Structure 1
């Protein structure tokens, strides 16, 4: 996905629902009616998949990684991020 392709979702204070698929064939972000679907190639151990998700979502939104805060779902496939 192009950088800032989802910039219209980047509103300060917004909560973004994300469904994560680890160990995918390739990294990608898609928009669904309930939020974002993120596929990452990394394994879900020691927070590696969460770091990859933050990197991909930040790139898609066109914001720095530090602007995203994981509020729910650190060990779940369903996560919620807050945009600061």
Structure 2
């Protein structure tokens, strides 16, 4: 059964790559990639995979393609 993870993304960040867990359980992801042509989405998925210790292929963006608030599905 896949797990759903909510994330708030900050693209073009000098602070990133960095992951922080917010009080409501949402992950805050800072990525250096710009929000152009899906670069920030790909960088966020790679950062999330590294943070969770799963392969990049196990992480799939399921919601919020053009939003800063996204949903990722993590395969078991």
TM-score (norm 2): 0.90
TM-score (norm 1): 0.82
For 1:4, the equivalent position in structure 2 comes to: none
The correspondence of residues 1-84 of structure 1 with structure 2, limited to 5 A, is 12-25=1-14, 26-34=16-24, 35-84=26-75
**Which deviations, in whole Å up to 9, do the C-alpha atoms of 1:44-67 show, x marking residues without a partner?**
001100110011000000000110
Aligned residues: 73
Unaligned runs of 5+ in 2: none
Moved over 3 A (4+): none
Quote the Cα distance in structure 2 between the aligned partners of 1:68 and 1:40: 16
Quote the Cα distance in structure 2 between the aligned partners of 1:53 and 1:38: 7
Single out whichever of 14-23 and 25-34 deviates more from structure 2: 25-34
Tell me the CA shift for residue 33 of structure 1: 2.1
Quote the Cα distance in structure 1 between the aligned partners of 2:18 and 2:62: 22
Tell me the CA shift for residue 27 of structure 1: 1.2
- CA RMSD after TM alignment: 0.9
Unaligned runs of 5+ in 1: 1-11
